[in-house]
Chain A
Amino acid sequence: MSRTPQAFDSLTSLRLHVTLMASLAPVALLAMISGGWSVTFVILSTMLLAWVTDFLLRRASSLRERDDGSALLWGLCLSLLMPPGVPFWIPWAGVLFSLLAIKALMGGSGSPWLNPVLIAWAFCQTWWPSEMGLGKIIPGAGSAEIPSLLLEHRTGFDRAVTEWFNSNIFSWMNIQLPGGYVDLITGLGTGVHSWNAEAGAVFLLAATVFLLVRGTIPWQIPSYFFVGFALPMAVFGGIPSGAGLFTGDVLFQVFSGTFLLGIFFLATDTSSRPLSETALTLFGLGAGMLTFFLRTWGVHPEGVGYAILFMNLLVPWIDTVLKKKVLNDLR
């Protein structure tokens, strides 16, 4: 006799992970186009290695888990966190570390309470700092260096679009869009981005609109992550460069680095995010504020990854504190 329920929601774990991968596909494609063969190889081989390792681990495990597509997604995310031109064995090492040490030892897809992608990324960054882009380019918050780098590689498309917007739209509001930002947002400028994920931010945003409308990822995390980051950045972001209050460059900060990938795809990772709605809000706000601090005053250029990892550490506590009160008078 079959018991309740008789029907199910159409979303499955496999479908969830495949949807997320499909949403990242345009970014991955742009990264491959602008980065050439080496980036293409890094992305594809990392995904393949993740899938094969996961397959073997599942075969070896007594649990006989079904493939839910999570390993492929982890491989894709990790390769997008790599700088263009990274040696292929670095993300490979990251994948192996993450799957063997985090997934297998902790017991399956949903068990790691630290984001498996970011653990792999932090592992790579700690072992191979120079290859991982540390020290090469440091987009220190508010520093004038990066926008100048954008200008150096500026494309004709950027010139045309920026000019059109400035003379037709922004002039009304009495503001000017600096050169190079269109390249930054569309990912067209070659040699501009320091991480694969930076390519094609516009496409990433478009995909997330779909994900949020469908409820595939919880809206609380990206929204409050943005608020927690953008508010202090707008107010205090200009201080390190001596520009004073209310001069922070939020637009540049949001579209540069792995910020968008971080708030929409990494912070929303199911295994390492908290459970209830209020907990998601707190988690997002906390990670956003941490990102601001790390980016503004930290040694690492990229605050997002570590901010999420630090918040992951607090998830068990957040879940305990924000546990819902059980309604015990319904029967």
Chain B
Amino acid sequence: MTRNKTFPLGGIEVESFRHLTEDSPIHSLTLPSLAVVPLMQYAGARARWIVAVGDKVAEEQVLAKGLGPNDRDVHSPTPGVLQEFREVPLPGGEISSAAVIRLEGEFQRTGKTVSARDWTSWSPTELLDCILECGVYLESSTLDHSVILPSPGKPLKDLVVNGLQHEPYLTVALTLLEARFEELAEGVRILQKMYSPERTHLVTDVGDLTARLPRWKELMQDVEFPALEFKFPQTQAGLLLKTLEIGQESLVVDVVGVLAIRDAVVEGRPQIERTIVVSGGGARRPGVYRARIGTPLFQFLKNSGGIKPQSEKILVGGPFRGRTVENLASPVVKSTQSVLVLTKTEVNAGSESSCIRCGSCVMHCPVGLEPLNLFKLIRQQNLDQARQDGLEYCIECGICSFVCPSRLPLVETFQTAKEELARE
């Protein structure tokens, strides 16, 4: 058996907690009677409303237009009446304007069969326009922006379909890989048509994928299936390319994104729902759920089984790079990939004590930095030396803070210091 591939330095093999949700079917949740649709669907998204209070909106109608060429449109998740605009906190904590839509009227799509469109005669540019119009958000490894699809025409060496899990607990990519693999294969063909890459890779961390899903081989004869170890932060774009030993002339799209692209192109369906994993020791019914964008988190959590009393915190994203949910009125947005409910023993929080120089942060840093020394330098206000020691190359994966036995706020300090350096 060949060894699973992995990146050169550091990283951490933690328990994946996949067993909690990996056999879950995809449950569809009830539609929200009041959908709260934020303008900002992911960090950095810019758009402006094109509807007004009192308007009747149809399912999938465009509510807001993206401002720049890479900003996505926002569509209505349900038919109804625009009741009001309201400021809402996003799951990540930012505040955004949101349209509140009261459910009423006819569904255009839900419950109806749609005929597949023949896209094979479309030009690459037409395909890209269709994807952008449907507001497809593509998850990036840092989770802070959407992956930008380059305009077709430039030669692309490698197309990477990312079937890896970003972090422990997360299983959406894995579930979709098995549940919708024919659609996924179609999505891959769309991307291949758009960019005609020399090679296409479908990366997973579940060993030999073709042994698990033999039909993949028939469906995708020109695709390679590299197997990676489950080691955080392997999905970071730079590390992923290093692991696969491929260059910068490549495009990485995650499985969820490929499926959204397929739905947009084949069915003309804009992104108005999202597959979300609910997991963690505090979740009563861990599993994979499909919810409409705009479903408030309290409703989403209630419908997905609720939480146990011993829960310590609720977060969106994974335990390394996720954000604490401060307000359960926050709605599901396009970038919500998971809702984790963690207990005290899963969080292991503690208060800061002094550095014991154990070197754990150094051994696990995937960039090869010495976090303990950078931390000391920053606390001494010696930003210049910190910069020389490579502070700017920090990818903010958070491993150093995770392993630090003295609970030093390492990555937090680096984030602040990097912002300070960027301002200079």
The answer to whether the Cβ of B250 comes within 8 Å of any Cβ in the partner chain is no
Q: Are A330 and B406 in contact (CB under 8 A)?
A: no
User: Bound state CA distance, A331 and B395, in angstroms?
Assistant: 7
User: Bound state CA distance, A330 and B397, in angstroms?
Assistant: 12
User: Bound state CA distance, A9 and B319, in angstroms?
Assistant: 11
In this complex, the interface size class of chain A, counting residues with CB under 8 Å from chain B, is: 35 or more
Q: Are B393 and A328 in contact (CB under 8 A)?
A: yes
Q: Are B353 and A66 in contact (CB under 8 A)?
A: yes
Min CB distance A323 to B, Å, is: 7
Q: Are B398 and A4 in contact (CB under 8 A)?
A: yes
* Cβ contacts B384-403/A at 8 Å (1 or 0 each): 00000110010110110111
Q: Are B239 and A330 in contact (CB under 8 A)?
A: yes
Q: Are A3 and B406 in contact (CB under 8 A)?
A: no
Min CB distance B312 to A, Å, is: 10
The answer to whether the Cβ of A68 comes within 8 Å of any Cβ in the partner chain is yes
Contacts of B356 in A (CB 8 A): 13, 16, 68, 70, 109-110, 270-271
Residue in B8, B93, B315, B350 whose CB lies within 8 Å of A12: B350
Min CB distance B369 to A, Å, is: 6
* Cβ contacts B81-104/A at 8 Å (1 or 0 each): 000000000001100000000000
Min CB distance B91 to A, Å, is: 11
The answer to whether the Cβ of B405 comes within 8 Å of any Cβ in the partner chain is yes
User: Bound state CA distance, A7 and B317, in angstroms?
Assistant: 12
Q: Are B363 and A276 in contact (CB under 8 A)?
A: yes
Min CB distance A252 to B, Å, is: 33
Residue in A3, A7, A15, A328 whose CB lies within 8 Å of B402: A7
Q: Are B238 and A329 in contact (CB under 8 A)?
A: yes
The answer to whether the Cβ of A168 comes within 8 Å of any Cβ in the partner chain is no
The answer to whether the Cβ of A321 comes within 8 Å of any Cβ in the partner chain is no
* Nearest-neighbor residue (CB-CB) of A5 within chain B: B398
Residue from the set B345, B352, B405 with the largest chain A CB neighbour count within 10 Å: B405
Q: Are A327 and B367 in contact (CB under 8 A)?
A: yes
Contacts of A10 in B (CB 8 A): 345, 348
The answer to whether the Cβ of A2 comes within 8 Å of any Cβ in the partner chain is yes
User: Bound state CA distance, A15 and B318, in angstroms?
Assistant: 25
Residue in A2, A11, A271, A274 whose CB lies within 8 Å of B405: A11
Assuming the A-B contacts A6-B320, A9-B403, are A1 and B326 also in contact, with contact meaning beta carbons closer than 8 angstroms in the complex?
yes
User: Bound state CA distance, A277 and B9, in angstroms?
Assistant: 11
* Nearest-neighbor residue (CB-CB) of B349 within chain A: A8
The answer to whether the Cβ of B346 comes within 8 Å of any Cβ in the partner chain is yes
Min CB distance B364 to A, Å, is: 10
Min CB distance B374 to A, Å, is: 11
* Nearest-neighbor residue (CB-CB) of B316 within chain A: A6
Min CB distance A115 to B, Å, is: 12
Q: Are B368 and A326 in contact (CB under 8 A)?
A: yes
Residue in B236, B346, B390, B404 whose CB lies within 8 Å of A7: B346
Min CB distance A21 to B, Å, is: 15
The answer to whether the Cβ of B115 comes within 8 Å of any Cβ in the partner chain is no
Q: Are B367 and A8 in contact (CB under 8 A)?
A: no
* Nearest-neighbor residue (CB-CB) of B237 within chain A: A330
Min CB distance B44 to A, Å, is: 16
Residue from the set A15, A280, A328 with the largest chain B CB neighbour count within 10 Å: A328
Min CB distance A118 to B, Å, is: 16
User: Bound state CA distance, A106 and B347, in angstroms?
Assistant: 33
Assuming the A-B contacts A7-B342, A8-B402, A274-B359, are A330 and B352 also in contact, with contact meaning beta carbons closer than 8 angstroms in the complex?
no
Contacts of A214 in B (CB 8 A): none
User: Bound state CA distance, A109 and B353, in angstroms?
Assistant: 9
The answer to whether the Cβ of B421 comes within 8 Å of any Cβ in the partner chain is no
Assuming the A-B contacts A275-B362, A327-B9, are A66 and B352 also in contact, with contact meaning beta carbons closer than 8 angstroms in the complex?
yes
* Cβ contacts B300-321/A at 8 Å (1 or 0 each): 0000000000000101011111
Assuming the A-B contacts A4-B398, A6-B342, A327-B9, are A13 and B353 also in contact, with contact meaning beta carbons closer than 8 angstroms in the complex?
yes
The answer to whether the Cβ of B415 comes within 8 Å of any Cβ in the partner chain is yes
The answer to whether the Cβ of B411 comes within 8 Å of any Cβ in the partner chain is yes
Which of chain A's residues 278-328 have a Cβ closer than 8 Å to chain B?
280, 323-328
Contacts of B402 in A (CB 8 A): 5, 7-9
Residue in A3, A11, A68, A274 whose CB lies within 8 Å of B412: A3
Q: Are A5 and B395 in contact (CB under 8 A)?
A: no
The answer to whether the Cβ of A108 comes within 8 Å of any Cβ in the partner chain is yes
Q: Are A6 and B357 in contact (CB under 8 A)?
A: no
User: Bound state CA distance, A92 and B365, in angstroms?
Assistant: 40
The answer to whether the Cβ of B152 comes within 8 Å of any Cβ in the partner chain is no
Contacts of B351 in A (CB 8 A): 66
Residue in B353, B366, B390 whose CB lies within 8 Å of A328: B390
Contacts of A9 in B (CB 8 A): 348, 402-403, 405
Name 22 interchain pairs, CB-CB below 8 A, sorted by A: A2-B324, A4-B322, A4-B401, A4-B412, A5-B321, A5-B402, A6-B347, A7-B348, A8-B349, A8-B404, A9-B403, A13-B358, A14-B353, A16-B356, A63-B354, A68-B354, A109-B353, A270-B357, A270-B359, A275-B363, A275-B370, A276-B359
5 more contacts with CB within 8 A, not counting A7-B346, A108-B355, are: A7-B320, A7-B342, A9-B402, A12-B405, A330-B237
| The 3 A-B residue pairs with the shortest CB-CB distance in the complex, in nearest-first order | A330-B238, A324-B368, A7-B319
